[in-house]
Structure 1
Amino acid sequence: MSSNRIHDVVIVGAGIAGLGMGIRLARAGRDDFVILERADDVGGTWRDNVYPGVACDIPSHLYEYSFLPKADWARRFATGGELHEYLRAAARDEGLRPHLRLDTPLDGARWDADARCWRLETGSGGLAARALVLAAGRLSEPRIPVVPGLDTFVGNAFHSARWRAGSLAGLRVGVVGTGASAVQIVPEVAREAASVVVFQRTPAWVLPRGDRAYEAEEPRPTRAALSAEAEQLFAARIADSRPAAALEARAREHLHRQVADPGLRARLTPDYAIGCKRAVFSDDYLPALQLPHVTLEPTELAAVEPGAAVAASGARHAVDVLVFATGFETTRPPFARLVTGRGETLAQHWAHGMTSHASTVVSGFPNMFVLDGPNSALGHHSAFEVIEAQIDYVLGALEYIAAGLRPLEVTAAAEAAYTALIDELADRTVWKRGGCASWYLDEDSHRLTLLWPERAGLFRRVNGTFDPRPFEPAPCGLGPCDADPAEIGARVPV
């Protein structure tokens, strides 16, 4: 690669967001783009996570590009392998291979104000772009807690997203965590291992899953029907609402139906409102915890010894394998340290929590767009809904950049107004008022920085179409300029 040529667009990341952006660019006839990917294949989360039982918890026909539907999903909830193959086929069939630069990590990106472009350094050399699209995602950097003595462990220890276990037959396995990955891993590991101990710092609300294979000639649900059903679930994310109480009652009934022992039920009952942390879906996790060779340790992992894991309770558990199902670096994305705009890095700009305008653009970072970043995840719906709206926004913005006017840079006032809007919407939700700490909240400011605190349809209406007015100086020749940029998006109908 050469830094002498300035590409129209460089995309960082070849997961759902990056591939979707590339497909839409190609379909629009915009061929001068590059997709950087640090791994040797596309697929993002669904490439990295290959642990036993990995699957989506959103219905298959809703967890796909609306512009690239798949009629023959095998199950109601697609497995990780089928999702990875769907994304690989999308890249292949939509002609993205010539645009992909695999095994090419981003080492740094800096805005060149004189040349009005982004200068990028990668593991394969330098290149430049008029527009930079960051699509590295939120679930790409595993987080392993600091545990005293972990370096002395003589067995096999790894994060669930870096699965490297062979046969577990005859081995003693410790699983650290009780979130979405753990509830899929534990039943599968319990089928093979000699013993399993699950370290539970905080119990999770478990809802029934109802997964099954589709029959060959069975009519499939439509994306529209599934989307409408998912939108109804947002009402349960409003704190102290009737729908929230009904959802909690459903989870309690599931727990009572599957766990007879009142002592174990008590240890598995959260003390926070449902939805405050990510609810999990499983029909076999709670039964697996009651198998004779499975132990629920109701405290967190506190220390590791050469052949044992020590819980905060003081209990010692002999283990040969330690699996850390402990989540990802979400609120402080590592890629932010690599990107420098006008005078500061993105990490510095986000030192007190991620902020943006329209969940996609950031003040001080011209011609830069972040997909699946600040306030662009959903706690009740498919990630594809927001990602596709963001792609539409970026495509509109690229038309302005192509017109050759000044670089697009959102005003600080517009970003502050949007941040205030997010805070106002978030304050009434279970994510802020549910009585828990979660990866949805910034650890410093305690703001809700990961989720869009409203319905997916409202995200599309507010953020799915590019509006030039919040940018400075406003490109008045191409759009309306009769409003104060600070007021744009300050209020939305709820």
Structure 2
Amino acid sequence: MTSAGNASFKVAIVGAGASGIATAVYLQRAGMAFTVFERAADVGGTWRDNTYPGLSCDIPSHLYRYSFAPNPEWSREYSPAAEIHAYFRGVAEKLGIIDKVRLSSEVTRAEFVGEGLWRITTTQGDEGLFNAVIAATGVLHKPVLPDIGGRDSFCGVSFHSSRWNHDVVLAGKRVGIIGTGSTATQILPAIVDEVESVSLFQRTPQWIISVPNNEFSEEKKRAFRKEPQKMAELYDHLNNLFNRRFAASLVGENDEGLAEMARACRQNLEDNVHDVKLRRRLTPSYQAGCKRLIVSDKFYPAIQRPNARLVDTRIMRIEPPGIRTNDGLMHELDVIVYATGFDPFAFFRPAVIVGRNGVSLNERWKESCQAYRSVAAPGFPNLFFIGGPNSPIGNFSFLRTAEVQIGYVTELVKLLSEGAHREVEPTEEATEAFNAEVEQAIKHTVWVTGGCKSWYFDKQGKVVSWPWSYGRFEADLKQPRMEEFKAA
């Protein structure tokens, strides 16, 4: 089915990860023609790329799913990665999205050519003209390697956690993990029983909240299958708990909730790390919530195993035998895992996006990535972002926030497809006003007041997240305010 009023209208969706699949579903339901361009040979985004041991989601299963595709078959309260990847692929297949995905077709260039049209070029060549482009490239997809001298000199095997080398047998090996975020705290417990030793190189300790990852009983699954309303009620409950109450505590609107979270983290540390010196080394100096909170009931027991070592002396360099720390010690290793995260400001890159008057988005975002309400930028008509600058990225369900953005963007694209406008883009004034408001509001969030540096900060020292409640996010993106757009 094509959109009533404009049968030739076409949309390009960049990326077939979680948000790209959802965008395709929304456009399909709106009756619009689209093509999804995906760089890899399969759909699934981050859940396709990340396959490291112990990987599971840190958002509850029944919240980390599409609103339109409840799943009674989740095996655990926090789903393992392979299950999540299978879920996304299954949704894409069931709803007929998979047939509209061009795999192994990475978008290298998107150029606005006027008259409301964009020319898309991929690694397969010129893909033609499209009336709108939706960049659904995700937030965490470009791996970051640490700036440590001698990385290439290591004689053993090394790789980033998101490019896990499954050919390497870890049994009996001396493994070093660089990093202490969610990834490292999942990998270490998963491998500690099979390796000879595992050394965790910690630059900054993390606050960890203990939540058991219980299995769903067959009885519970049967109840979900029989009464889908139970899943809907659970989804609403979890959405309120995570995306509203917890979100409010991070942005200065629920001080009691923030204090309660801090108490739970500290209690977890005191109850589960018995060695006083080790406990001190694992105690952060910043406020809980300042960095993305880690959910794990396995890390503290694992780091206290006889063959596990916490190394909190700074790394000097990497040498052929292993890692040398600033105290002169050489930590001899067979494998180094870089659990050092991603560049959250990569967005669509390395693709080149060229807007009106030949100005690229890279030029516009040279100093800082700024958008209008996280979804669009002046000078780039009919270009929209899912997960763009200032999206809520701190301990929320990305799927829920993505759907809010997708619903908003779909309304704008409908105006184009129905012929109400040929081009829409936010005004400079509205974009500047929004970002000025963000800059003031962000000062009152725990990311700024909590005393830490995190991946939420860009190179200019600005926190690029949503500084208000989740309720405001939903309200702001409920319906486009056309007075803040320039339409032709």
Match of 2:238 in 1: 226
1:277 aligns with 2:291: yes
Gap change, CA 1:313 and 1:372, over 3 Å in 2: farther
Match of 1:487 in 2: none
Write the distance in 1 (CA, Å) between the matches of 2:147 and 2:439.
31
- The Cα of 1:462 is off from its aligned counterpart by 0.8
Match of 2:218 in 1: 216
Match of 1:150 in 2: 151
Partners of 1:337 and 1:346 within 8 A in 2: no
Q: What one-letter code is carried by the residue in structure 2 that aligns with 1:236?
A: S
What are the superposed Cα offsets for residues 49-106 of structure 1, whole Å, 9 maximum, x if unpaired? 1000110010100000101111221100011011000000011001012210000111
Write the distance in 2 (CA, Å) between the matches of 1:420 and 1:139.
26
Q: What one-letter code is carried by the residue in structure 1 that aligns with 2:303?
A: L
Match of 1:118 in 2: 118
Match of 2:101 in 1: 100
Write the distance in 1 (CA, Å) between the matches of 2:316 and 2:102.
42
Aligned counterpart for 2:424 among listed residues 408, 417, 422: 408
1:244 aligns with 2:258: yes
Gap change, CA 1:129 and 1:391, over 3 Å in 2: same
- The Cα of 1:337 is off from its aligned counterpart by 5.4
Write the distance in 2 (CA, Å) between the matches of 1:201 and 1:360.
34
Write the distance in 1 (CA, Å) between the matches of 2:101 and 2:351.
23
- The Cα of 1:232 is off from its aligned counterpart by 1.3
My pick for the range that moved more, 345-354 or 383-392, is 345-354
- Aligned residue runs from structure 1 range 92-491, under 5 A: 92-113=93-114, 115-127=115-127, 128-165=129-166, 166-218=168-220, 222-230=234-242, 231-238=244-251, 241-333=255-347, 335=349, 338-342=352-356, 343-404=358-419, 405-444=421-460, 446-449=461-464, 451-473=465-487
- The Cα of 1:238 is off from its aligned counterpart by 4.0
Match of 1:478 in 2: none
Write the distance in 1 (CA, Å) between the matches of 2:315 and 2:26.
45
Write the distance in 1 (CA, Å) between the matches of 2:348 and 2:335.
28
Q: TM-score, normalised by structure 1?
A: 0.91
Write the distance in 1 (CA, Å) between the matches of 2:448 and 2:209.
21
My pick for the range that moved more, 426-435 or 227-236, is 227-236
My pick for the range that moved more, 420-429 or 199-208, is 420-429
Q: What one-letter code is carried by the residue in structure 1 that aligns with 2:477?
A: N
- The Cα of 1:234 is off from its aligned counterpart by 2.4
What are the superposed Cα offsets for residues 21-73 of structure 1, whole Å, 9 maximum, x if unpaired? 0011112222x210000000000010011000110010100000101111221
Write the distance in 1 (CA, Å) between the matches of 2:350 and 2:141.
13
Aligned residue for 1:141, secondary structure, equals coil
Partners of 1:141 and 1:334 within 8 A in 2: no
Match of 1:65 in 2: 66
What are the superposed Cα offsets for residues 427-466 of structure 1, whole Å, 9 maximum, x if unpaired? 111011111111111122x2221x2122323211111322
Write the distance in 2 (CA, Å) between the matches of 1:409 and 1:334.
18
Write the distance in 2 (CA, Å) between the matches of 1:334 and 1:24.
21
- The Cα of 1:403 is off from its aligned counterpart by 3.6
Partners of 2:251 and 2:469 within 8 A in 1: no
Aligned residue for 1:196, secondary structure, equals strand
Write the distance in 1 (CA, Å) between the matches of 2:155 and 2:205.
29
Q: What one-letter code is carried by the residue in structure 1 that aligns with 2:239?
A: S
My pick for the range that moved more, 232-241 or 135-144, is 232-241
Aligned counterpart for 2:13 among listed residues 11, 14, 34: 11
Partners of 2:177 and 2:337 within 8 A in 1: yes
Write the distance in 1 (CA, Å) between the matches of 2:304 and 2:110.
51
Aligned residue for 1:398, secondary structure, equals helix
Q: What one-letter code is carried by the residue in structure 2 that aligns with 1:257?
A: D
Partners of 1:331 and 1:439 within 8 A in 2: no
Q: What one-letter code is carried by the residue in structure 2 that aligns with 1:50?
A: T
Partners of 1:337 and 1:345 within 8 A in 2: no
Larger relative contact order (Cα-Cα within 8 Å, sequence gap ≥ 6)? 2
Gap change, CA 1:201 and 1:466, over 3 Å in 2: same
Q: What one-letter code is carried by the residue in structure 1 that aligns with 2:374?
A: S
- The Cα of 1:336 is off from its aligned counterpart by 6.3
Partners of 2:205 and 2:281 within 8 A in 1: yes
Q: What one-letter code is carried by the residue in structure 1 that aligns with 2:246?
A: L
Aligned residue for 2:458, secondary structure, equals coil
Q: TM-score, normalised by structure 2?
A: 0.92
Detail structure 1 runs of 4+ shifted over 6 Å in the superposition. none
- The Cα of 1:269 is off from its aligned counterpart by 0.4
What are the superposed Cα offsets for residues 363-410 of structure 1, whole Å, 9 maximum, x if unpaired? 111100010111113424211221111111111101221243341111
Q: Report the aligned-residue RMSD.
A: 1.7
Partners of 1:160 and 1:181 within 8 A in 2: yes
Q: What one-letter code is carried by the residue in structure 1 that aligns with 2:435?
A: T
- The Cα of 1:146 is off from its aligned counterpart by 2.1
Write the distance in 1 (CA, Å) between the matches of 2:351 and 2:361.
6
Partners of 1:60 and 1:75 within 8 A in 2: yes
- The Cα of 1:302 is off from its aligned counterpart by 2.9
Write the distance in 1 (CA, Å) between the matches of 2:351 and 2:108.
10
Write the distance in 1 (CA, Å) between the matches of 2:160 and 2:121.
29
Write the distance in 2 (CA, Å) between the matches of 1:78 and 1:307.
37
My pick for the range that moved more, 314-323 or 226-235, is 226-235
My pick for the range that moved more, 360-369 or 118-127, is 118-127
Aligned residues: 466
- The Cα of 1:348 is off from its aligned counterpart by 1.7
Partners of 1:331 and 1:441 within 8 A in 2: no
Aligned residue for 2:441, secondary structure, equals helix
Write the distance in 1 (CA, Å) between the matches of 2:54 and 2:67.
26
- The Cα of 1:256 is off from its aligned counterpart by 0.7
Write the distance in 2 (CA, Å) between the matches of 1:313 and 1:334.
41
